[in-house]
Amino acid sequence: MAAGTFDEGHDGRDTIQRRKMLTKKRYLIALFAVLAMLIAACGPADEGTDTTEATGTTQESPDTTDGSTDTTAVSGEDITVGVSWNNFNEPRWANFDKPAIIEALDAAGAQYIESDAGSSAEQQLTDVENLISQGADVLIILAQDGTAILPAVENALDQGIPVIAYDRLIENPEALYITFDNIGVGTLMAEVIYGLVPEGNYVVIKGNQADANADFLREGMDVIIGDPVASGDITIVCEEYTDNWDGAIAQTTMEQCLTDNNDDIDAALVENDGMASGVVAALAAVGLDGQIPVSGQDGDTAALNRVALGTQTVSVWKDARLLGQAAGEAAVQLAQGAALGDVSGVIDFESPGGNTMTTILLDPTPITQENLNLVLDAGWIDDATLCQNVEAGSVAACP
């Protein structure tokens, strides 16, 4: 089925019925009672007839000992997963996350539909409603704004449609939160940069203020630089959020910071690779590219090339293929009736909003010139892309 379209062969009424059956236990009990009376009145069903297969529905057993719902798994072919992307501006979404989600769904026989909000929180609200109307049995949402999306999330959950908060926190404890350890990502960035520059003037370029990840990353940085800042060994001369994690805005911020400090900058803690590209461009404009350590994250191919060139010091690699796979597999489990706590690999996570979130946290890896072979060996990037314009032999990965 093409992305963003509804398969006319998919019975929308069955989808709605299945959704209700998964969420309205009392309704099912009453229904089973009525069916039992009808069967008793009309006699036994024809021998060999399987009414569950004939109707294509999933039945629950109302008699459970722990209060949970015991379901007969929905076939993968009956599952439609709707994915709401905030945008495709970051290369990883289209290049790695999306294909991994689709591959996991294909393995289960599930269908994929999507929408792209184009960085608009308002559009994403509409997108989620449209995905529901197209028959989505479960939603994966990469939120543009984790607060603005809450009404759409609550509406979906009220209809019995499970929601996965993908890589960005949505403060609703009924949603499954799947991400990398973003506090750990910030710690890894700062650890590498601080190891090279233990004192001096630092710039901190943060992501979108509406995205909780920006503050998670900053919290992780403080694990390393908090004490040196308090002691005066490090001075943060500029610290700014960046709308939409936009590299052009980060470049403007860095240019202004350089001007305000007469180019006296010693290190730049930048929260992702897209923004790092703008910071490196600003440094290049004053002849400082390659002289000031710069961090990033995501393992964007352009960023890994900059690491090889020496203009970016570290990109904390979050193998988005693993994240997409985890989300796709969890979506199928949820659509088949699994409770949040029964999804494979979940832990509890205390959110900034005071919610106990059911979470899957994956581990990141810092990539520097010394271990570029890791992304090569994993097939994340090819030699030609990694080593473009890199002097042969200057780094081990580019002989």
| Low-confidence winner among 17-31, 44-58, 167-181 (lowest mean pLDDT) | 44-58
pLDDT tens by residue, 137-161: 999 999 999 999 999 999 999 999 9
Give the phi and the psi of residue 275 in degrees, each rounded to 5: -70, -35
- Give how far Cα 274 sits from Cα of 37, 92, 141, Å: 64, 10, 21
Q: Is the Cβ–Cβ distance between 255 and 282 less than 8 Å?
A: yes
Q: Band of the pLDDT at 116, cuts 50, 70, 90?
A: very high
Higher pLDDT, residue 72 or 276 = 276
Paired sense of beta strands 314-317 and 347-350, if any: unpaired
- CB-based burial label for 379 (10 Å; 0-12, 13-18, 19+): exposed
Q: Are 369 and 354 in contact (CB under 8 A)?
A: no
* Domains (range + CATH), the chain: 1-180+319-363 (3.40.50.2300), 182-297 (3.40.50.2300)
Report in angstroms the alpha-carbon separations of 313 from 190, 217, 263, 306, 394. 11, 17, 19, 8, 14
What is the average per-residue pLDDT within 183-207?
98
pLDDT tens digits for range 211-235:
999 999 999 999 999 999 999 999 9
How far apart are the C-alpha atoms of 134 and 186, rounded to whole Å? 38
Q: What is the pLDDT at residue 32?
A: 41
pLDDT at 115 exceeding the cut of 80: yes
Q: Which two tokens stand for residue 74?
A: 């929905």
Residue 67's contacts (CB-CB under 8 Å, 6 or more residues apart) are none
Span between the terminal Cα atoms of the chain, in Å: 44
| Cβ neighbour number for residue 13 with a 10 Å cutoff | 8
- H helix runs in the chain, sequence order: 12-23, 25-42, 51-55, 91-92, 98-108, 121-133, 150-158, 182-196, 212-231, 247-260, 273-285, 301-309, 320-335, 373-377, 383-386
SS3 233: coil
Residue 62 binned pLDDT confidence (cut-offs 50, 70, 90): very low
Retrieve residue 246's tokens. 């936009």
